[in-house]
Amino acid sequence: MKKIVATVCFSLILPSCTWVKVTPNGEGVRLVQSARAVESCKRIGKVNTKVESKIVFNRDPEKVAGELADLARNEAALMRGDTIVPVSEINDGRRSFDVYQCFPTKIQ
């Protein structure tokens, strides 16, 4: 009985968890939904992201989408990108993003 109660409690708490945090550099990367927004930008690469979309049950699709974008923002910052555009649908907790440089880079 205790295992059932623990599982139920865990199942109620888990959906509110956020697994991915945006890094300070990732905060400077914007997410846009349309390729039209990056027409004058330079494409510098692509990132593929993955998070768990099911843990005992299916996770909230909006949380999964947000975490995938946060991971992509972090990776884009490492590539010196400043903008990401999703280029695939979410499938099994996976999504791809194109990375762009739209603003002049700062020398660091």
pLDDT tens track for 1-44: 555 544 444 444 444 455 789 999 999 999 999 989 999 999 99
Going through the chain in order, the beta strands assigned E by DSSP cover 30-31, 42-50, 54-55, 57-58, 83-86, 94-101
Are 57 and 10 spatial neighbours (Cβ–Cβ below 8 Å)? no
Phi, psi of 84 (to 5 degrees): -125, 150
- CATH no. for residue 59? 3.30.1660.10
With CA atoms as reference, report the closest residue to 46 among 18, 81, 21: 81
Owning domain of residue 8: 2-101
Model confidence over 39-90: pLDDT tens digits? Answer: 999 999 999 999 987 776 788 889 999 999 999 999 999 999 999 999 999 9
Are 92 and 53 spatial neighbours (Cβ–Cβ below 8 Å)? yes
The answer to the question of residue 69 being in a domain is: yes
The answer to the question of residue 36 being in a domain is: yes
The answer to the question of residue 68 being in a domain is: yes
Strand-pairing partners, residue 42, are: 101
The answer to the question of residue 60 being in a domain is: yes
- Looking at residue 105, its pLDDT comes to 65
Q: What is the number of domains present in the chain? A: 1
